Amino acid sequence: MTIKPLADRIVIKMVEAEETTKSGIILAGSAKEKPQVAEVIAVGPGGVVDGKEIKMELSVGNKVLISKYAGTEVKLDGQEVTILRQSDVLAIVE
């Protein structure tokens, strides 16, 4: 199944959290922070939203930094993805 976001929305897949620290310490599941870096897997067409012209600046494959609790999480073909507005993206990670 494919998903096609509408208007200024994007679909992202979270990047897995690190399981070890830089010094080599293995973290327990409860000690891991919720990841804030995600990969864009689908982008809406943009257009007029709330009377304003929205130009989509993101594209599929971009890695982005998002707010901790932004978007709506859904399960798609057994894979968890998040749908959010482009304005919820804080930055593109290069």
pLDDT computed for residue 89 by the predictor = 96
Domain ranges for the chain: 9-93
For 16, residues 6+ apart whose C-beta sits below 8 A from its C-beta are 35
Tokens 């894979």 found at: 79
pLDDT computed for residue 28 by the predictor = 58
Beta bridge partner(s), residue 20: 26
Radius of gyration for the alpha carbons in the chain, expressed in angstroms and rounded: 15
| pTM for the model | 0.79
CATH (residue range 9-93): 2.30.33.40
Mean pLDDT of 31-53: 85
Report how far residue 28's alpha carbon sits from residue 85's, in angstroms, rounded to the nearest whole number. 32
